[in-house]
A and B are shown apart, each in its own frame.
Chain A
Amino acid sequence: MNHARHARAEQLIAQERVEGISQAERKWLAAHLQECAPCTDLARQTDQALRSMRAAAISFPSGLASRTQFRVRLRAQELREREPKRRALWLTCAVSWIFGVASAPYVWSLFQWFGQHTGAPKLVWELAFGLWWTLPALFVVAVLLMERVHQGDEPAWMRQDR
Chain B
Amino acid sequence: MRDPDLLDRLIEQYQFRLFRYLLYVTGNKERAEDFFQETWIRVLERGHQYDGKSKFEVWLFAIARHLVIDWHRSKKPQSLDTLTDPEREHPLQLVNENAVSPLHQVLSQENEEIVQTSLQKIPAIYREVLVLRFQEELQIDEMAGVLSIPLSTVKSRLYRGLEALRGALQQGPA
User: How many residue pairs at the A-B interface have CB separations less than 8 Å?
Assistant: 130
Q: Which residues of B contact A55 (CB under 8 A)?
A: 109, 112
CA distance A71 to B49 in the complex (A): 21
Interface size on B, residues (CB 8 A): 59
- B residues 118-174 touching A (CB-CB < 8 Å): 118-119, 130-131, 133-135, 140, 145, 148, 155, 158-159, 162-163, 165-166, 169-170
Pick from A53, A58, A61, A157: contact of B115, CB under 8 Å: A53
State whether A58 and B46 are in contact (beta carbons under 8 Å apart), knowing that A18-B162, A49-B166 are contacts in the complex. Answer: no
Contact A72 B40 (CB under 8 A): yes
Q: Which residues of B contact A87 (CB under 8 A)?
A: none
> Smallest Cβ distance from B95 to chain A, in angstroms?
15
Contact A59 B115 (CB under 8 A): no
Instruction: Determine whether B77 belongs to the interface, using a CB cutoff of 8 Å to chain A.
Output: no
CA distance A51 to B108 in the complex (A): 16
Contact A79 B19 (CB under 8 A): no
> Smallest Cβ distance from B155 to chain A, in angstroms?
6
> Smallest Cβ distance from B121 to chain A, in angstroms?
13
State whether A49 and B115 are in contact (beta carbons under 8 Å apart), knowing that A54-B135, A61-B29 are contacts in the complex. Answer: yes
Instruction: Determine whether A45 belongs to the interface, using a CB cutoff of 8 Å to chain B.
Output: yes
Contact A56 B15 (CB under 8 A): no
Q: Which residues of A contact B106 (CB under 8 A)?
A: 58-59
Contact B49 A79 (CB under 8 A): no
State whether A75 and B45 are in contact (beta carbons under 8 Å apart), knowing that A53-B130, A158-B66 are contacts in the complex. Answer: yes
- A residues 80-105 touching B (CB-CB < 8 Å): 80
Instruction: Determine whether A118 belongs to the interface, using a CB cutoff of 8 Å to chain B.
Output: no
Contact B11 A68 (CB under 8 A): yes
10 more contacts with CB within 8 A, not counting A14-B162, A60-B19, A75-B45, are: A18-B140, A18-B158, A52-B115, A58-B23, A67-B37, A71-B40, A71-B41, A157-B66, A158-B49, A160-B53
Q: Which 5 A-B pairs have the closest CB atoms?
A: A52-B115, A57-B109, A18-B158, A73-B4, A160-B51
19 contacts between A and B (CB under 8 A): A18-B155, A18-B159, A42-B166, A52-B111, A54-B135, A56-B116, A56-B135, A57-B109, A58-B20, A58-B108, A68-B37, A68-B40, A69-B8, A72-B7, A72-B41, A76-B7, A155-B70, A158-B46, A160-B59
